[in-house]
Structure 1
Amino acid sequence: MIKVLLFAHLQEEAGQQEVSIDKGDLTVKEIKELMINDYHLSRLDGVMVAVNEQYALEDEVISSGDVVAFIPPVSGG
C-alpha cells in the first residue's frame, strides 16, 4: 500500500488529506495519472512530488510502504 499526502488546494479537490493506494511499483508519472483520474484532481503539472521525504522525478518507482507527498507551488504576497 502506498500512502499519498495531499496539501493545499489538492486536499480540497480530493476531499481528503491523504489516500491509500493498494498498488506498488508505480512510477511518479503513473501515480499522478491515477490521482487525476481516481480523485478528480485538476492538474499536477507544477506540483512537486516527494517520496519518503525526498524529492522525486517522474520516472522514480514508488513501492508498497512508501509515502508520497504532492506539494503545490506556494504563492505569497
Structure 2
Amino acid sequence: MDSNFVGLSVLGAGIAVVGAGLGIGKIGGSAMEAIARQPEASNKIQTAMIISAALLEGASLFGIVTALLAVLK
C-alpha cells in the first residue's frame, strides 16, 4: 500500500477528531451560555445539546472508521 495513501487516511482521521472536539466544545459553550441566560429552559437546552453532541460524535466516528478501513484494507 502506498505510504502517501496511509498518511492521508491518518490525517483524515485526525481532522475528524479535531473537528468533533471543536464542534462539541462549541455546542457545550453555547448551551452553558443559553442556560445562564434562561435557567428555566435548562432541561430543553440540555436535551438539545446532548442530541446535537451525539449526532456530531456519530458523524466523526463514521469519518474515523472510514479512514481506518482505508488504511487496513
TM-score, L = length of structure 1: 0.25
TM-score, L = length of structure 2: 0.26
Which structure has the bigger radius of gyration? 2
**Which of the pair is proportionally richer in helix?**
2
Higher relative contact order (CA 8 A, sep 6+): 2
**Which of the pair is proportionally richer in strand?**
1
